[in-house]
């Protein structure tokens, strides 16, 4: 059956990195028999420019109809002054919520070739392979009440609500245990249960779900310590499960262990395994339009898409092997460049990965 893939380039470096993903998917189709059909739709600032909305209704419709969705990135200074509901980031949050993509997998894997590009010493990051599982449709991002208003005494105030229901915690905890079962069977739940009631409930529910997974070693860690441990001794972790905002922050930090934020892919899945795939980084306005962006996080997101939503494990492995090959050959975008390597741009990197695809 033909896989229907919706591609949403978005803003900033989004179109540049997504072009490389399209090049890759076309090569898999033409040379390796991947039965896929691509369609493109605007989101974020591009959605606003095209249809006056960061998530145009037509884009959402195509996303619902697709077997999988690939996103570049959204946002940029050009859109920062727009009314709140029109801002690019609202479009991204809306599509995650509309599609029910509560389970966000952010693997932080150090390619051995990039050990010297990591911000940490090789002995601390060598062999790193951790999975950060971020809850994606709850917490402060969506909780109500929220807003900015003026108190009776005339003082303005802003507020958000970190809220999680038991079923929301239960399903992300279950995803965490299921992922841990397929890995090293160690799950660390990260919270702030010493301060927040929402975290107390989180911990209680995670403990309850743990009873169904006696083979998984569960531990709990406060988020401030987890941030410290991630840079002190990241290999102590196998799978980390955490709420939306903690996961956002911890995964950006974990990205630097792998050499660059340009290396971290992600999968955002619903209960049935349908998904949206995107690099964890943003639209990088500081380097947009210059051909400098690292496309590998996006190409590795394509690999995750092939694996998790399209059941094309062999194609996924082919992409990952090609990325490894290109790194072996010494090609580096500026963000992962180290002495003695060949500095290349976005397109050269994408072309090299396509050229390295093999049986």
Which structure tokens are listed for 40? 């493109």
Separation between Cα atoms, residue 337 and residue 340, nearest integer Å: 9
Instruction: Confirm whether 153 is a catalytic residue.
Output: no
247 binds ligand NAD (CB under 6 A): no
Q: What single string gives the DSSP state of each residue in 108-175?
A: EE--GGGGGGSSS-HHHHTT-EEEEEEE-SSGGGT-SS-EEEE-TTS-EEEE------HHHHHHHHHH
Cα dihedral 246, 96, 322, 179 sign: positive
Quick one: which of 5, 66, 92, 254 contacts ligand NAD (CB under 6 A)? 92
Options 48, 111, 141, 213, the catalytic residue: 141
Catalytic residue among 67, 238, 248, 335: 248
Q: What binding mask, one character per residue, do residues 248-277 give for Mn ion by CB under 5 A, x or -?
A: x-----------------------------
Tell me the two tokens of residue 346: 């976005």
Marked catalytic residue, from 11, 111, 164, 192: 192
Which residue from 168, 191, 238, 335 is in contact with ligand NAD, where contact means CB under 6 A?
A: 335
Minimal CB distance residue for ligand IPM: 89
**Cα torsion for 48, 9, 248, 228, to the nearest 10°?**
-140
* Binds ligand IPM by CB under 6 A, chosen from 280, 297, 326, 356: 280
Residue 15 is labelled as binding a ligand: no
Among 4, 40, 58, 89, binds ligand NAD (CB under 6 A): 89
Residue 172 site contact among ligand IPM, Mn ion, ligand NAD, none (CB < 5 to 8 Å, cut-off depends on kind) = none
Phi-psi map region of 228: left, alpha, beta (phi>0 left; psi -120 to 50 alpha)? alpha
Q: Which is nearer to ligand IPM, 28 or 138 (CB)?
A: 138
Q: How far apart are CA 240 and CA 131, in angstroms?
A: 6
**Binding footprint of ligand IPM, residue count (CB under 6 A):** 7
109 annotated binding-site participant? no
- 285 carries a ligand binding annotation: yes
Distance CA 33, CA 27 (A): 9
Strands 103-109 and 129-135: antiparallel
- Interacting residues with ligand IPM (CB under 6 A): 75, 89, 92-93, 248, 280, 282
The residues carrying an active-site annotation are 141, 192, 224, 248, 252
Contact residues toward ligand NAD (CB under 6 A) are: 13, 73-76, 89, 92, 261-262, 278, 281-287, 293-294, 297, 335
Give contact residues for Mn ion (rule: CB under 5 A): 248
């Amino acid at each position: 059956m033909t896989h229907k893939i919706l591609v949403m380039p978005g803003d900033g470096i989004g179109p540049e990195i997504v072009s490389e993903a399209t090049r890759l998917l076309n090569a898999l189709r033409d040379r390796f028999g991947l039965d896929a059909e691509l369609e493109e739709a605007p989101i974020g600032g591009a959605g606003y420019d095209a249809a006056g909305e960061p998530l145009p209704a037509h884009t959402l419709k195509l996303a619902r109809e697709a077997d999988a969705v690939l996103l570049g990135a959204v946002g940029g200074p050009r859109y920062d002054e727009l009314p709140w509901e029109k801002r690019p980031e609202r479009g991204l949050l809306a599509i995650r919520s509309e599609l029910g993509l509560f389970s966000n997998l952010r693997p932080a894997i150090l390619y051995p070739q990039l050990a010297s590009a990591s911000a940490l010493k090789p002995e601390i990051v060598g062999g790193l392979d951790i999975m950060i599982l971020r809850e994606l449709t709850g917490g402060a991002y969506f909780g109500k009440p929220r807003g900015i208003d003026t108190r009776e005494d005339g003082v303005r105030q802003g507020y958000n609500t970190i809220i999680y229901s038991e079923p929301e915690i239960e399903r992300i905890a279950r995803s965490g245990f299921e992922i841990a079962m397929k890995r090293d069977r160690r799950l660390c739940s990260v919270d702030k249960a010493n301060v927040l009631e929402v975290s107390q409930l989180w911990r209680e529910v995670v403990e309850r779900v743990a009873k169904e997974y006696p083979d998984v070693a569960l531990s709990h860690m406060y988020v401030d310590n987890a941030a410290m441990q991630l840079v002190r001794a990241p290999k102590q972790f196998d799978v980390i499960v955490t709420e939306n905002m903690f996961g956002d922050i911890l995964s950006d930090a974990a990205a630097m262990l792998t050499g660059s934020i340009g290396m971290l892919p992600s999968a955002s899945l619903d209960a049935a395994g349908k998904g949206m795939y995107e690099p964890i980084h943003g639209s990088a306005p500081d380097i947009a339009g210059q051909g400098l962006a690292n496309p590998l996080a996006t190409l590795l997101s394509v690999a995750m898409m092939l694996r998790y939503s399209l059941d094309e494990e062999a194609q996924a492995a082919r992409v990952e092997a090609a990325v490894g090959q290109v790194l072996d050959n010494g090609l580096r975008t500026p963000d992962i460049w180290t002495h003695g390597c060949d500095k290349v741009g976005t397109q050269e990197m994408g072309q090299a990965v396509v050229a390295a695809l093999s049986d």
